[in-house]
Amino acid sequence: MLDTHLPGFTPWPAPEARQYRELGLWTGETFDDILRARTAANPTAIAVVDQANRWTYAELDARVASLAAGLAGQGVAARDRVLVQLPNVAEFVEVIFALFRLGALPVFCLPAHRRGELVPIGQASGAVAIITCHHHQLFDHAALAAEVSAEVPAITRVIVLPDRDRTTVPEGAVSLDELRSAPQEFPRAAPSDVAFLQLSGGSTGMPKLIPRTHDDYLFSVRRSAEICELDTDTVYLAALPVAHNFPMSSPGILGALWAGGTVAMAADPTPATAFAAIETFGVTITGLVPPLARLWAERAEAGDTPDLSTLRVLLVGGARCPDELAARIGPALGVTLQQVFGMAEGLVCYTRLDDPAEVIVSTQGRPMSEYDQVAVVDEAGEPVPPGTDGLLQTKGPYTIRGYYDNAAADERAFTSDGWYRTGDVVCLRPDGNLVVKGRQDDRVNRGGEKVSAEELEEHLLAHPAVRDAVIVSVPDTVLGERTCAFVLAADPATPPTLATVRKFVRERGVAAWKLPDLVEVVDSFPETGVGKTSRRALRAALLAASSHVGSTS
């Protein structure tokens, strides 16, 4: 067992780490220990199901053992970083647990990521391999992985899960199915070391990678499983892309496995697909972003749906759930709504299942642990009076103390005494529940998917017809927020259009959710009175000057 930490990781200070261990918050277990323990306890229970697979814990464990050996045969070793870009399929669970067994670190990429995201993530993580699927939603991920590997020299292996209707994978790639081999033993990972790298929402071209340890993440998973009342009868449906922190851990697929329950994978989160999955797999709990929760509620209200009677809890989070929607969800779907306000960096707040209706409908809940510390402060870092809006800062047993190998990001995001500046504007109510009011920065929260204004502006500035561009978040009744690009044309006679701008940004290789929703060509940017460099003031002025934008959707 390695007793040093991964270079680039900022551990908790020793006194806090000791306290978390003494209190039993950090149990000294690894994800691999959990899988082995649950398998030993109940080998025939169903661990994972999807459209094509139904594996017991014993089967999952055996697959993990042989895939770990196969990956080792490819030269993947303890502490190596491996980009994982897979859709919601059973093999996702197999792959990440095989990496855990080896002591290698999955880097959680999303199926929507393209070259523009994967190359910087590959570089920043120092990854040595990519594990992806062949095709997903008509997109050739194997070809994308080959491109990324060509651009990032350290990535020397492309491992591809074959399509279900064919067995071959493209030349130059290794088939995931073919590399499974005879199990072997590997040294156990250190519980206090990094288990994987998660991505920060709204990362720019320089991605912020989030190092989570077995100790800290297992605590958050266990506590989430307790709060969401998971047990061996739980069937958790991964409806959102499973690599997101929310369906991974709040309580997510890892919570379900922690509880000895079942993970069910939905190919997509539309009511048509997910409702069928709920009926087929007997799903008891799932999590959605607000726009999808609205779609599900509307579909259920319209009647004539599959049998959803097994579904007991619906978690909604990732973006602010409007109170009006929150009030509709329970009656429409016959579930208890549980609001969740979390972040991949750590802190997760939940409303509790037995909270009064007013709390469930109008707040985003309270921290999951009594050892979470939260502070609501002003711009100078001073506490605001109780009940007033302010900036949320936090630290605790599962909130990171620094990004992976990124001193510049740490400087901005952490105080000198280790508090994480979430950037969220919140109000802390006297009853301890938080209400999320907005963001301090220029991140657009597009129905749970975050867009960095700065990153998108850089793409737009590369367009020959664009002289300058400012990205502003505008309110939207469906997504909560949409992305509006205010643009100065290079030549006013030929201003850029929404279609050309979207095509241009897409071709630069970025995830589709980052494409602007609206383009407003303006003659000049308003004077802000606070100097040319205040993008924030400029954004506010632009939004105020064009009150029609975003008033419809």
**Which of 88, 363, 364, 394 forms a contact with ligand J2J (CB under 6 A)?**
364
> Residue 255 or 260: which CB sits closer to ligand J2J?
255
Which of 299, 300, 142, 310 has its CA nearest to residue 235? 310
CB 175 within 8 A of CB 167: yes
Residue 228 interacts with ligand J2J (CB under 6 A)? no
Length of the chain in terms of residues written: 553
CA 314 to chain centre: 17
> Residue 284 or 338: which CB sits closer to ligand J2J?
338
- Residues 142-161 touching ligand J2J, rule: CB under 6 A, are none
Which of 330, 244, 301, 281 has its CA nearest to residue 513? 244
**Which of 341, 398, 404, 486 forms a contact with ligand J2J (CB under 6 A)?**
341
Residue 351 interacts with ligand J2J (CB under 6 A)? no
> Residue 147 or 454: which CB sits closer to ligand J2J?
454
Site string for ligand J2J, 280-319 (x = CB under 6 A): -------------------------------------xxx
Residue 394 interacts with ligand J2J (CB under 6 A)? no
Residue 456 interacts with ligand J2J (CB under 6 A)? no
Nearest distance, CB of residue 494 and ligand J2J, angstroms: 38
**Which of 35, 82, 86, 436 forms a contact with ligand J2J (CB under 6 A)?**
436
Give the range of 53-61, 185-193, 241-249, 262-270 binding ligand J2J by CB under 6 A.
Answer: 241-249
Residue 201 interacts with ligand J2J (CB under 6 A)? yes
Strands 129-133 and 135-136, bridge-based pairing: unpaired
CB 99 within 8 A of CB 82: yes
How many angstroms separate the CA atoms of 130 and 245, rounded? 20
Buried b (16+ CB within 10 A) or exposed e, 319-355: bbbeeebbebbbebbebbbbbbbbbbbbbbbbbbeeb
Residue 372 interacts with ligand J2J (CB under 6 A)? no
Residue 275 interacts with ligand J2J (CB under 6 A)? no
**Does residue 105 come out as left (phi exceeding 0), alpha (psi in the -120 to 50 range) or beta?**
beta
14 phi, psi to nearest 5 deg: -55, -45
What is the radius of gyration, based on Cα positions, of the chain?
A: 23
**Judged by CB under 6 A, how many residues of this single chain contact ligand J2J?**
23
**Which of 424, 476, 517, 520 forms a contact with ligand J2J (CB under 6 A)?**
424
Give the range of 128-136, 303-311, 343-351, 378-386 binding ligand J2J by CB under 6 A.
Answer: 343-351
Nearest distance, CB of residue 286 and ligand J2J, angstroms: 13
CA 204 to each of CA 207, 446, 458, 515, 533: distance values in angstroms, whole numbers, following the listed order: 6, 16, 10, 14, 19
Nearest distance, CB of residue 482 and ligand J2J, angstroms: 16
Beta strands in 29-140 (DSSP E): 46-49, 54-56, 81-85, 105-108, 129-133, 135-136, 139-140
**Which of 84, 152, 314, 344 forms a contact with ligand J2J (CB under 6 A)?**
344
Residue 439 interacts with ligand J2J (CB under 6 A)? yes
- For the record, the structure tokens of 283 come out as 């799903």
Strands 336-343 and 313-317, bridge-based pairing: parallel
Give the range of 36-44, 110-118, 340-348, 544-552 binding ligand J2J by CB under 6 A.
Answer: 340-348
Nearest distance, CB of residue 319 and ligand J2J, angstroms: 5
For 44, counting Cβ atoms within 10 Å of its Cβ (0-12 exposed, 13-18 middle, 19+ buried), the class is exposed
Nearest distance, CB of residue 513 and ligand J2J, angstroms: 12
**Which of 320, 421, 463, 514 forms a contact with ligand J2J (CB under 6 A)?**
320
Residue 247 interacts with ligand J2J (CB under 6 A)? no
Residue 207 interacts with ligand J2J (CB under 6 A)? no
Residue 338 interacts with ligand J2J (CB under 6 A)? no
CA 271 to each of CA 112, 121, 214, 276, 292: distance values in angstroms, whole numbers, following the listed order: 20, 32, 34, 8, 8
**Which of 39, 85, 213, 250 forms a contact with ligand J2J (CB under 6 A)?**
250
CA 508 to each of CA 109, 326, 498: distance values in angstroms, whole numbers, following the listed order: 18, 38, 16
> Which spans of this chain sit near ligand J2J (rule: CB under 6 A)?
201, 245-246, 249-250, 317-320, 339-344, 348, 364, 422, 424, 436, 439, 445, 450
